[in-house]
Structure 1
Amino acid sequence: MTRDQLLRQFSLTTPSQYHADSLRRIAHLNKQSLRKAAVLIPCIDRPDGIYVLFTKRASHLKHHAGEVSFPGGKYELFDRSLADTALRETNEEVGVLTNQIQLLGQLPSLVTVSQFEITPFVALVKQDYRCVIDPNEVDSVFEVPANYLFNPQNLHTSTMILRGNQHPIFSIHYQKYFIWGVTGQIIQSLQNQLQFKP
């Protein structure tokens, strides 16, 4: 996937909602009690195409230790917007400077079982970005080619029962990494929007 393909498909296609079973699972939650958060989907424009940056969360964290995620975190009162939250957290976690990031837009918010309302932002990142990991939050970073990540053939779907309801689990294996959970749900939605055919 090239930069132009990403821009065209993301800009001209209506954002795709998340899987209906996922939305039903959280329908009973009180919207007023949800904590807001934001993540960045950093797309790096390289000579051979777009790559997407992921973090592997630090193994000592209390929640989701060692899991693969997009950089991001919870909204703080000093953030001017959720977009600022995504940019700030990306800088804090992996050191990417705001002036190296071009926001393209956002996906619909996604509510999690842990009662966060997460808003993903898609962005282009300059290929000469310098990564500086915060070891308190991140063990490592890696990039996945968009040709692989946004190809629906590489997305696996399974089902689990949670509190008596069916819940789809979307996952992708890439090299030694296993991407799933909320991150998998975001990827599935973005795949639908981009409709990429390698």
Structure 2
Amino acid sequence: MTFLTNKKQDLTEVLRQSLEPVPKAVSPALELTGAIRGDHDLNPATAPNHALPFVPAAVLVPIVLRRDGPTVILTRRATHLSKHAGQISFPGGRADEGDENAVATALRESQEEISLAPNLVEVIGSLTTYITVTQYSVTPVVGLVEPKFDLRPEVGEVSEIFEVPLDFLLDQANRKKHSGFRNGVERFWYAIPFGEYYIWGATAGMIKDLSERIMQK
């Protein structure tokens, strides 16, 4: 029995009930007591500095409605990038001045990075805002995608596009807490190994958020 087939409701309904409304603003106001997640969840010393501005950003969590089970589109970042080279991530990036809200940012970036047409995505909600140690305020926008696309990576940013079964990502047994040392300080992060892919950091943290929301339903 798979992770989702235990649910009495249809997958789409479970997701809709589990998610937050998409914020109307590009960068929602952040309170110290607000509901945020981030790199600091496992590393309290890296708590976000609310005295400094946050860079607004958004990613798309694209759930593909395939007949043999839903999957999630992920990307491997290009290896020549100066930041996060070769890492696994959702399509997305920082907000542009012309973006009306987080949805606009996520859909625009997804079209630019992997050629996913916005009209193929039904946005159904969002996850908790995720704060990175680099002061990015990331809104994870969740969308349902019909498998009628022809994806192509933007070579300047993406080296590979692949899909992972949603069941696999949501199963907490596949999520581990890893650690390592940087500048003599031990750091912790969540990781979800999948074949040759090592899904970790902010991406794994967002998947953990989605998993916990669905498990509560």
User: TM-score with structure 2 length normalisation?
Assistant: 0.81
- Deviation of 1:31 after TM superposition, in Å, equals 5.5
Query: Percent identity of the aligned residues?
Result: 32
1:104-115 aligned within 5 A: 104-115=124-135
Partner of residue 149, structure 2: 129
SS in 1 for 2:198: strand
CA contact (8 A) 2:48 2:131 kept: no
Gaps of 5+ in 2: 21-34
CA shift in 2, pair 1:189/1:31, >3 Å = farther
Residue-by-residue CA offset, 1:132-186 (whole Å, 9 max, x unaligned): 2110000010000011111111001134577998754110111110000110111
CA shift in 2, pair 1:191/1:164, >3 Å = farther
CA contact (8 A) 2:64 2:145 kept: yes
Partner of residue 194, structure 1: 214
Residue-by-residue CA offset, 1:69-96 (whole Å, 9 max, x unaligned): 0000000101111110000000000000
| Aligned pair partner of 1:29 in 49, 61, 65 | 49
Q: Alignment length, in residue pairs?
A: 196
What amino acid sits opposite 2:84 in the alignment? H
Structure 1 residue 67 corresponds to structure 2 residue 87: yes
Gaps of 5+ in 1: none
Partner of residue 12, structure 1: 17
CA contact (8 A) 2:48 2:132 kept: no
| Aligned pair partner of 2:195 in 164, 172, 175 | 175
1:50-89 aligned within 5 A: 50-89=70-109
CA contact (8 A) 1:55 1:71 kept: yes
Partner of residue 143, structure 1: 163
What amino acid sits opposite 2:73 in the alignment? L
- Deviation of 1:6 after TM superposition, in Å, equals 3.0
User: TM-score with structure 1 length normalisation?
Assistant: 0.88
CA contact (8 A) 1:173 1:179 kept: yes
C-alpha RMSD over aligned residues: 2.6
